[in-house]
Amino acid sequence: MYYSLLAGGKRIRPVACLLSYDMFKTKQDRKQEEDSLEERYKAVMPTAVSLEMIHTMSLIHDDLPSMDDDDLRRGKPTCHVVYGEDVAILAGDSLLSSAFEYAIKYTPIPSISGENKAERLLDVVGRLGASVGNIGLAGGQVMDLECEGKPSEEVTIEDLRWIHLHKTAALLKVACASGAILGGASESDVAKVETFAEKIGLAFQVADDILDCTASSEELGKTAGKDEMVDKATYVRLLGLEGAKAEAQRLTDEAKECLSEWGEEADGLRAIADFIISRSN
Amino acid sequence: MYYSLLAGGKRIRPVACLLSYDMFKTKQDRKQEEDSLEERYKAVMPTAVSLEMIHTMSLIHDDLPSMDDDDLRRGKPTCHVVYGEDVAILAGDSLLSSAFEYAIKYTPIPSISGENKAERLLDVVGRLGASVGNIGLAGGQVMDLECEGKPSEEVTIEDLRWIHLHKTAALLKVACASGAILGGASESDVAKVETFAEKIGLAFQVADDILDCTASSEELGKTAGKDEMVDKATYVRLLGLEGAKAEAQRLTDEAKECLSEWGEEADGLRAIADFIISRSN
């Protein structure tokens, strides 16, 4: 569990969660809390950590021999290479279930903003659960495996979109929604950051497909060029390299549009959107 | 997910949860709700279902080729035999995460008994998370796999106890605790039903070891005689068949002692304790 969780990574999901919280729990609200980051994010940090635990679980299981069979992740040998398949499966199961425990155990309910504080935390944990299930990560991965079994020309851009909305965007969506909910956001504002997250989730995956064919394994910390090797349907294959780049830019612009009502308090999330398509790994 | 969840089974964990609820949410409390079972158990049924989802996940993953490599479960071919290893792993992941979503989504908070209703549901979900983690199911399974790697004479009764307290008793413990919490129990009463559950959890495993060498695969719905075949350390091996039977009886008696303060409202849980050692599968 520690080996994979602490192997590094970009921490985009937890960061998106904290920045989404910042949009609603504004400077004015927090006056007295400014002394430390720990104090500033105490209502949301446990959920941010849970998101990374869940994401790490999905990487450990996706890398297994019966799934994507990868031996390099975050620049290190994958969990099952080091500890064996059995322990890797159990480490993932334990990270997943502990994520729910962690968010509940370490979130001080009075520090949550808005009305119905305990209900807000229940909402967050329920959404975390949904994001991994059959209409979340796991469903996206099943569809991904099914499409890999087909000739790549039979896979449409709609199939890819469905896969990535569930496999990648679902967890980013709950990351942004959770931060907003714990920061005291209204339902309609939560919906706006969710749409933002869906767009950057799709952009993230388009950027991943671009990086897979333009960056080295060393830069990526995982096996590069793998998509072409296994004849996988990707945005690059369907749209061409330039077409994919334009698609990523379009999604990022649309994402930022969702935040047009907010001023500088949303600059953090806007920066995440830019980072996602300009990153080199 | 449906294939394994609806394959039958004894449903001991959800039943224990409902019966524990009955101990606290007494007849008097429910007067007006007596018209249907659905109404009677509406505060606790979603959690009972979650418990079975989590238990089913643990069976699917334990049966995988890299773990216990079993091809028969609940009288049917195991999940990975029917759907492949990749889908079986994802079905387990999805059942696990959906369990948390399910308990939160379908529990009507006002129907929970006692003070701080939303906090009670958070407590239940947090305990569910802990029961699967590194000091729960997953930890118990890792230790089990480690002990299987050793000559059986090096495994002590304390090792076995630790494995079963985590692998088997942890989920029964949260089953009984959850029912009590949602029924409005005090902390000290929750602790009493937890001790009850630990004892019957251990008795359950002793009975399992006995059945493995006395019943047929047909009766069990899973491969019989497997423990001896793989030279596994069991209570029967360590204590002999008669010694194991005496141990199961002792644990059951101690379990019932934990409920001595209660009258007929605890008869349901007492019946579970008796069932656990008298069952034939």
| Nearest-by-CA chain A residue for B84 | A66
At position B235, the amino acid (one-letter code) is Y
Burial pattern B129-146, b for ≥16 Cβ within 10 A else e, equals bbbbbbebbbbbbbbbbe
Residue A133's closest chain B neighbor by CA? B94
Confidence of residue A214 (pLDDT cuts 50, 70, 90): confident
Which among A5, A34, A6, A13 has a CA at the least distance from the CA of A168? A13
- Residue B116, chain A, CB below 8 Å: the answer is yes
Q: Per the domain annotation, does A5 fall within a domain?
A: no
Cβ contact B125–A100 (<8 Å): yes
| pLDDT band of A27, cuts 50, 70, 90 | low
The predicted pLDDT at position A150 comes to 83
- Nearest CB among B61, B86, B105 relative to A66 is that of B86
Return the residue of A nearest to B134 by Cα.
Answer: A94
ipTM: 0.93
- On whether residue A1 sits in a domain, the answer given is no
Distance (Å, rounded) from C-alpha B126 to C-alpha B221?
32
Least CB–CB distance from B122: residue in A57, A86, A118: A118
Query: Measured between beta carbons, which residues in chain B are less than 8 angstroms from residue A136?
Result: 94, 97
Q: How many CB atoms within 10 Å of residue A22?
A: 21
A85, B104: Cβ pair inside 8 Å? no
- Other C-beta atoms lying within 10 Å of the C-beta of residue A158: 8
Tokens of A105: 């155990």
Residue B57 in contact with partner chain A when CB distance is under 8 A: yes
Which positions ≥6 away from B57 have C-beta within 8 Å?
A93, B91, B92, B93, B95, B96, B99
Query: Helices A267-278 and A12-24, interaxial angle, to 10°?
Result: 160
**Using CB atoms, which residue from A89, A131, A137 is nearest to B64?**
A89
> What phi and psi, each to the nearest 5 degrees, are found at residue B260?
-60, -20
Q: How many Å apart are CA B224 and CA B246, to the nearest integer?
A: 22
Candidates B101, B130, B134; nearest CB to A130: B101
Give the Cβ contact number of residue B117 at 10 Å: 20
CB count, 10 Å around CB of A3? 17
Which structure tokens are listed for A281?
A: 């790994």
Residue whose C-alpha is closest to residue A160's, from A208, A226, A195: A208
Pairing of strands A76-77, B72-73: unpaired
> Is B1–A64 a contact, with Cβ atoms under 8 angstroms apart?
no
Which one of A64, A98, A109 has the shortest CB-CB distance to B129? A98
Chain A residue numbers touching B54 (CB-CB < 8 A): 97
Amino acid at A103: A
B135 touches chain A (CB under 8 A): no
CB atoms within 10 A of CB A149: 7
pLDDT, residue B219, reads 77
* The total number of structural domains that make up chain B: 1
* Per-residue model confidence (pLDDT) at position B230: 74
Q: Which residues of A touch B61 (CB under 8 A)?
A: 89-90, 93
Residue A13 scores a pLDDT above 90: yes
A60 near B CB under 8 A: no
Contact across the interface for B129 and A92, Cβ inside 8 Å? no
Structural domain includes residue A49? yes
CA-derived radius of gyration, chain B = 19
Interacting residues of A84 by C-beta distance below 8 A, sequence separation 6+: B66
pLDDT tens string A61-77? 999 999 989 999 888 99
How many residues are recorded in chain B? 281
Report yes or no on A3 lying in a domain: no
Cβ B104–A133 below 8 Å, yes or no?
A: no
Are B101 and A138 in contact (CB < 8 Å)?
A: no
CATH number of the domain encompassing residue A243: 1.10.600.10
Sign of CA dihedral A272, A273, A276, A278: negative
pLDDT at B31: 61
CB distance B61–A93 less than 8 Å? yes
Query: What number is the average pLDDT over the span A45-60?
Result: 98
Provide the percentage of residues in chain A whose pLDDT is more than 70: 96
Which chain B residue has the Cα nearest residue A120?
B118
For residues B80 and B87, what is the distance between their CA atoms, to the nearest angstrom? 7
pLDDT of residue B279: 77
Residue A233, pLDDT above cutoff 90: no
Non-local CB neighbours of B259 within 8 Å, separated by 6+ positions: B23, B192, B193, B196, B266, B269, B270
User: Would an 8 Å CB–CB cutoff place A118 in contact with chain B?
Assistant: yes
* Residue A228 confidence class, pLDDT cut points 50, 70, 90: confident
Task: Indicate the DSSP class of residue A254.
Answer: H
Strand segments, DSSP code E, in chain A are 72-73, 76-77
Q: How confident is the model at residue A182 (pLDDT cuts 50, 70, 90)?
A: very high
The answer to the question of residue A2 being in a domain is: no
Residue of B90, B115, B142, B174 for testing the chain A interface, max A β-carbons within 10 Å: B90
Q: The domain containing residue B107 runs over which residues?
A: 2-278
Q: Identify the burial level of B102 via C-beta atoms within 10 angstroms of its C-beta, where 0-12 means exposed, 13-18 middle and 19 or more buried.
A: buried
Mean pLDDT across chain B, nearest whole number? 92
- Say how many residues make up chain A: 281
Tell me whether residues A84 and B98 touch, CB distance under 8 A. Answer: no
Asked if the structure places residue A123 within a domain, the reply is yes
What is the structure's pLDDT at B118? 98
Mean pLDDT by 10 residues, chain B (281 residues): 93 96 77 72 97 97 94 92 97 98 98 96 98 95 88 86 93 98 97 97 92 81 75 86 94 97 95 88 70
| pLDDT number for residue A93 | 98
Residues 6+ apart with CB under 8 A from B154: none
